[in-house]
Amino acid sequence: MKNNIHFANISYLSRELENKTISPVELVEHMLSRIESVDQRLNSYATVCADRAIKEARQAEREILAGNYRGRLHGVPLSVKDLCYTRGIRTMGGLKVRKNFIPTFDSTVVKKLGLAGAVLLGKSVSTEGALSGYNPEFEIPKNPWGSELWAGVSSSGSGVSVSAGLCFGSIGTDTGGSIRYPSMANGVVGLKPTYGSVSRHGVMDLARTLDHVGPLARSVEDVAILFDAIVGRDGLDPTSLSQEIAPISNSLRMNVENIALGVDSNYIESGTDRGLLSAIEEVIETFKTLGVSLVDVKMPRSDPQVLRDLWLPIVAFEAAKAHEETFPSRADDYGDYLREVLEYGLAMNERDYIEAQTRRKQYAMQFEAQLDKVDAVICPAGGFVFEVDAKAQYGDKETMASVIENFQGQFTIPSDLIGSPAIVVPCGFSDDARPYTFQLLGSKFSEGTLCALGYKYEQQYEWNLRHPDF
């Protein structure tokens, strides 16, 4: 572990840091050195906050040595998606129009990580405005499992930095799958929480009624630790929920016997790679041997394009409002894909938007009715890791369509429409070393149960101990 400390889990690091066997300053220096030598190939960081990281590490070391240990993130180096405001450090959101934007305050999620004693290594790359394409002004993150492989959508920098051992956890956002796709593509754990459970204050909007903030890390326990640090009511965020959420780290070792796991074979098989399907079938068998009750459910039928047509008008209308200061006045500074979506949103009126929200509610009721029958539903995390070129990811109209066809939105979009939680957990590899993952969906506030199931599965295998050799 000493030679590969950058691949350690937070749960391990926290014990070593508390016991003073690891120096926060030396740990951060190691991580900054690794980022400098490795990330020039992977492009996962938009900005590295070296000065801030060293300052925070020194403070953490002083506090820990003095016996003032704050908790399991004290002295742990993390990254956050470059949508999260950081005081005095640029926050671009993958946007050329925001290339020189420097916030005067920290987002609530960054502030909470700071209060927990975490160290901010830097800001991870996002797609343009957190949608599906990148602005040509910026580099595209490379998947550490293969440079020709897709790295996921908007939280791709977070997924790559976690998978490659360039941080110990990261904060991403999810509007249609942007925590779960990068987790799937990079073979890490990602938790999209209940809408409003984590504050969006100081996080750039894509679509305000769909945006979720959540953690990515290399183990289920680690995402639980991160979630517990950032969850909670925030008076600065009007969409923040007032309901108290108990720490989910305490739920990880709960007895999963007789927990009801919903299985819909037709839903799972929809558009799924055969190898991935076999891996998920093995996951289901593992849960069965652990005493989990398997229950047949029937998820609402909907192909990816139908769901995308349900989701996109809401995104387009709300994104156009979010960008009204710079679009269309600076339209030439936008990439092709985001520009087209914003134009779509500007062409809509309030009646169109209300109708889109009505259709959303109707679908959400159908989907949520199935979730309410069980404790969790298992399915893929959003397809299979596919090969993609830069032209397509920069939004070229002719090739972008082929990328979107690979988005298995039937597995990701529903829980964003509903605002319910989901977790992605690694479950193996293809013959050519592409990560396999599964997803657990649950009703609102079921994060603890989802993490307990994911943790129990994870303890049976060592998939999260296998790292990319790039």
Which positions are catalytic? 81, 154, 178
**Separation of CA 20 from chain center:** 31
Three-class DSSP category at 17 = helix
For residues 118 and 47, what is the distance between their CA atoms, to the nearest angstrom? 17
| Cα gap 382→305, rounded to integer Å | 14
372-393 burial, b if ≥16 CB within 10 A, otherwise e?
A: eebbbbbbbbbbbbbebeeebb
Closest CA to 127 of 168, 158, 164: 158
Tokens 């972008």 sit on residue:
400
Query: Under DSSP, is residue 458 helix (H, G, I), strand (E, B) or coil?
Result: helix
What is the distance between the alpha carbons of residues 62 and 24, in angstroms, rounded to a whole number?
9
Structural contact between residues 293 and 259, judged by C-beta atoms closer than 8 angstroms? yes
Cα–Cα distance measured from residue 357 to residue 76, given in angstroms and rounded to the nearest whole number: 41
Q: How many CB atoms lie within 10 A of CB 65?
A: 12
- How far is 35 from 32, CA to CA, in rounded Å? 5
**E-state strands within 236-285:** 260-263
Burial (Cβ within 10 Å: 0-12, 13-18, ≥19) of residue 238? exposed
Place of tokens 């953490």: 60
d(CA 82, CA 326): 18
Q: Residue 47: beta bridge partners?
A: 123
Do residues 388 and 277 lie in contact, with contact meaning Cβ atoms separated by under 8 Å? no
CA dist., res. 10 & res. 221, Å (int): 8
